[in-house]
Chains A and B, each alone.
Chain A
Amino acid sequence: LAPWIPVVGLEIHAQISSNSKLFSGSQVQFAAPPNSLVSFFDASLPGTLPVLNRRCVEAAVMTGLALNCSINKKSLFDRKHYFYADLPAGYQITQQRVPIAVNGSLSYSLCIDNKMSQMVTKTVRIKQIQLEQDSGKSLHDDTSSQTLVDLNRAGVGLMEVVMEPDMCCGEEAAAAVRELQLILQTLGSSQAVMAEGQLRVDANVSVHHPGEPYGVRTEVKNINSIRFLAKAVDYEIQRQIEELENGGTILNETRAFDSKLGCTVPMRDKEGKQDYRFMPEPNLPPLILYDSKSLPANMNHQQVINIDWIHERLPDLPSVKREKLVEQYGILPEHSFTLLNEDGLAEFFESVVKQTQMKPKKVIGWILNDLLSYLKQHSLTVKESPVSSFLLADLLNLLEKKEISSTAAKRVLVELWKGEGKTPLEIVKEEKLELLQDQKELEQICQAVIDGHENEVIMMVLV
């Protein structure tokens, strides 16, 4: 049987972290009472006009720069038309013709064969980033044949990040999205929490034989976590391969991922191909961005965005942070990945290192093996850790000074997890875990043991 090459592309919608919406002043907030964050414009009241939110543009520029994109100094807004209950104006304002950023790349790392020690770096091309409005939410109440519409989310700013079909499987897709998530969170341009709908991923999947053109692709939606993303993509790849090997064909359709069943199912909603009748948004002039070279001298700085200014103020991206951690602390690259993968863990680690004489190379083991596994077992975040960096550093100092053994230290840690407020030293004293350093005392104890077990000692000497 000829081998199959799976091809995976992604369309990711990231909600912009901002106080107000993309084109209106109503607030952006998760889980507010229904229809409590809706301005006249959001409700599409006739005669209202969009006004562009500066913060949203800055967020998109930051993200574009972090993803190595070219920032378009002139980009345009368009209307994308379709009728739906959660789209009050009957169109979405988006950037179809000329988006704000294009032609970037994202590097991410994978473990080969699940071995953390063998990591490989991959790159996915970023086709573009565009600014667009989020829609409201509609809830279908089938029992009373009603649709309930909540417009709180209508008009919230989104960055759509389009990743080219450079990925080949669920693992790659998941790793790419994870890295994007970290980047967005580092920049602060999006909180990117998938569970709160701040990061939504649609996967485009197809398969083909080597040397042949790409196969028909399907779009998989409704993926709620990175774990499910990997599952959904892998399932869809398998499904397509099986279908084709059985002589079937793949329909260019949209499918939803059913997390309970672990499979993709066709979505009834999409009937036929929609013609969105794109049209330029006439109420928004072209978005002009400047850099230090093109910025006119007498411009009102409140009214312009300087790309170079934003570039200079970009924080260290995850990849840079990891390199710095490896260089500064002599830890392994795979350690740096785990540190950054857990919110707050890198900071915790650095904090402990500061407060202890123990070498970072040794501290890392305690962080990754003991602390992290405990947190995972109890589903806690680093922030929620009952053991603070101060306490852990305290404990590691005792170990470093050889006042306790490594085994004893683990015992103390178990006690510390209980969060009863005791210091490591107090626990050591309570449990009598001190290492004996006094030579004379040791001799006395040994002598006492020998004296108490004369027969066994004689036996040992004779044998």
Chain B
Amino acid sequence: ATLKDGLCSQVSAALKEGRVTPTELCQRCLALIKSTKFLNAYITVAEETALKQAEESEERYKRGQPLGILDGIPIAVKDNFNTAGIETTCASNMLKGYISPYNATVVQKLLDQGAVLLGKTNLDEFAMGSGSTDGVFGPVRNPWSYSKQYKEKSIPKSHSEDEESNWVITGGSSGGSAAAVSSFTCFAALGSDTGGSTRNPAAHCGVVGLKPTYGLISRHGLIPLVNSMDVPGILTRCVDDAAVLLGSLAGHDPKDSTTIQDDFKPFELPNLTDVSKLSIGIPKEYHAPGLSSEILALWSKAADLFKNAGAKVVEVSLPHTRYSIVCYHVLCTAEVASNMARFDGLEYGHRSDTKDSTESMYAATRREGFNDVVRGRILSGNYFLLKQNYEKYFVKAQKVRRLIANDFVKVFRSGVDLLLTPTTLSDAAPYTEFIQEDNRTRSAQDDILTQAANMAGLPAISVPTALSERGLPVGLQFIGRSFQEKQLLTVAKWFEKQVQFPMIQLEEVKRHDNGVFQHQKSASFS
């Protein structure tokens, strides 16, 4: 195996050659999940069904008839995707115990290709948040909190302090999926991305996070946050794997009327060697207030990397960037208010015991079922949708959204192929520090660099770049043209190869690893 092949292809090869069996792989992942339980990355571990799927995969390999590259590969799915027969909670009391009768299209596609579904990962309740700290099952811990790299750099403030209080967040809202991939408990995971929810935790957890173009991958079965911005997100350990997952998931779905009709052809990523024909744009507005000097320096270094390799690197402007947070707030809360209206306790989910009247049952059910974040957004959203406010807020926000999207159109039309930006303002914050501010404040801060791509429906990817001074991962983001994932991923892969991001050194993983998990060169980009 060469570095050209992604992890999934290498594991697939190993499975074909019988060097490891699907059941062994599955069991190892399940064992690792158990020993990393403190991360709280998983809400549900589907041990029985996963082993059964692994056995079936094994049979296929024995017959020499694997379904494809993903056959037997253990994966995890964020708990806001419907999975038939396996609880889907959205980390909310409203859906605790809810067993969906159907699979989301993306889940079905993975299962149809023989992937082994290990379980459902933790998130902020209903995907609202940027820390994966606000779900009913508790916060997710960033595996890097327990890494040698982080522990080496962290200075204990007092002798009684230990890693228990020092742990850092994963970012969110797909923190569970990012942590699962980062800690080697699965080879790939599905997240969702509405304002950065796949890219943000990917950056904090040192994994690849891909947000595809809106309309490329089906949302059928993804419990929606903002229907006009949501996309299923892909979290993997390397860019090649993201391409493999993309290939298996993208394409028109008749069940989702917002997917494009055109045929999608899965592609293999070429090994780019010559970047001289590339034009990289550096949007000056992404030098946002609060951007750490560390990340600013890394961003600059990355730009130089491209320049030195012969690419054209230009400063560009996306003038409406600063309005995106407010615009997002209006549109997001409005859609949330609408999407959450179905949770009335009648057909499914939590129902309050109140028997006084239907109205009081609704009120009690929703008060008991939703956390403050969800309820806050519902209230805001309903306010913006009131007849007297609709023009002032919702329609205005739609217009601003159009302006934001046009910023990108103009820049791409001027000859720029891709944009290079930071993904987050800083490395992962310690949990105790993160919760000092409320969810809304945090989201507003953290979404600034990722949000606009959702507004414009563009594809974007966060690639792990280097470790911060604190020994925590920092990722950089590439934003591409609509439906030009091939170009986006090709350049991302080139960049990944240049930076040689170090592998996480986790005790738990060392114990379970016996050569199946790939090693990358230890030299790093910092």
Partner-B contacts on A (CB < 8 A): 40, 43-52, 79, 81, 83, 85, 88-91, 145, 147, 149, 275, 277-279, 282-285, 303
Contact = CB atoms under 8 A, between A and B. Distances in A.
A49 B228 CA distance: 12
A36 B334 CA distance: 33
B100 A83 contact: no
A43 to B, nearest CB: 5
The CB with the most chain B CB atoms within 10 A, among A44, A46, A85, A278, is that of: A46
Interface stretch (B291-299, B304-312, B338-346): B338-346
Nearest to B339: A46
Interface in B78-130: 81-82, 88, 90, 95, 100-102, 104
Contacts of B221: 47-48
Given A46-B223, A83-B344, A277-B390, 5 more contacts: A46-B224, A49-B219, A89-B341, A277-B386, A284-B257
A191 to B, nearest CB: 28
A282 B335 contact: yes
Interface residues on B, range: 35 or more
Contacts of B341: 81, 83, 89-91
Nearest to B358: A85
B481 interface: no
Contacts of A278: 385, 387, 390
Contacts of B337: 277
Nearest to A91: B341
A96 to B, nearest CB: 11
A46 B80 CA distance: 9
Interface string B299-335: 0000000000000000000000000000000000011
Given A277-B337, A283-B257, A283-B258, A40 B102 contact: yes
Contacts of A43: 347-348
B346 A49 contact: no
B268 interface: no
Nearest 7 interchain pairs by C-beta: A90-B341, A277-B385, A282-B227, A282-B228, A44-B342, A46-B223, A47-B221
B486 to A, nearest CB: 25
A48 B220 contact: yes
B222 interface: yes
Contacts of B88: 46
B261 A90 contact: no
Contacts of A303: 261
A463 B334 CA distance: 104
B258 A277 contact: no
Contacts of B223: 46-47
Given A51-B254, A85-B358, A90 B82 contact: no
Contact of B255 (A45, A51, A81): A51
17 contacts: A40-B101, A40-B102, A46-B88, A46-B90, A46-B342, A46-B343, A46-B348, A47-B222, A47-B223, A48-B220, A85-B358, A90-B341, A145-B355, A149-B346, A277-B337, A277-B338, A285-B258
Contacts of B495: none
A89 B337 CA distance: 12
Contact of A44 (B95, B255, B258, B347): B347
Interface in B377-424: 382, 385-387, 390, 394
Interface string B222-238: 11101110000000000
B59 interface: no
A47 B220 contact: yes
A178 B261 CA distance: 43
Contacts of A44: 342, 347
Contacts of B102: 40, 45
Contacts of B346: 85, 88, 149
Contacts of B258: 49, 282-283, 285
B331 to A, nearest CB: 10
A277 B344 contact: no
Contacts of A48: 220-221
Nearest to B104: A47
A301 to B, nearest CB: 14
B257 A90 contact: no
Contacts of B219: 49
Contact of B95 (A46, A81, A283): A46
B372 interface: no
Contacts of A45: 82, 100-102, 347-348
B525 interface: no
B338 A49 contact: no
B342 A89 contact: yes
A282 B334 CA distance: 11
B256 A49 contact: yes
Interface in B345-362: 346-348, 355, 358-359, 362
Contacts of A279: 334-335, 338, 385, 394
Given A40-B102, A147-B358, A275-B387, A50 B338 contact: no
Contacts of B226: 282
A91 B256 CA distance: 19
B385 A283 contact: no
A285 B394 contact: no
A427 B23 CA distance: 88
A284 B81 CA distance: 20
Nearest to A276: B387
A262 B195 CA distance: 58
The CB with the most chain B CB atoms within 10 A, among A43, A44, A49, is that of: A49
A283 B227 contact: yes
B126 to A, nearest CB: 10
A90 B338 CA distance: 8
A444 B255 CA distance: 89
Contacts of B95: 46
B82 A46 contact: yes
A148 to B, nearest CB: 12
Contacts of A89: 341-342
A88 B347 contact: yes
B82 A47 contact: yes
B257 A285 contact: yes
A102 to B, nearest CB: 22
Given A49-B255, A275-B386, A90 B344 contact: yes
B357 to A, nearest CB: 9
A73 B88 CA distance: 41
Contacts of A147: 358
Nearest to A281: B227
A266 B143 CA distance: 64
A59 to B, nearest CB: 19
A83 B344 CA distance: 8
Contacts of B343: 46
A258 B342 CA distance: 33
Contacts of B387: 275, 277-278
Contacts of A85: 346, 358
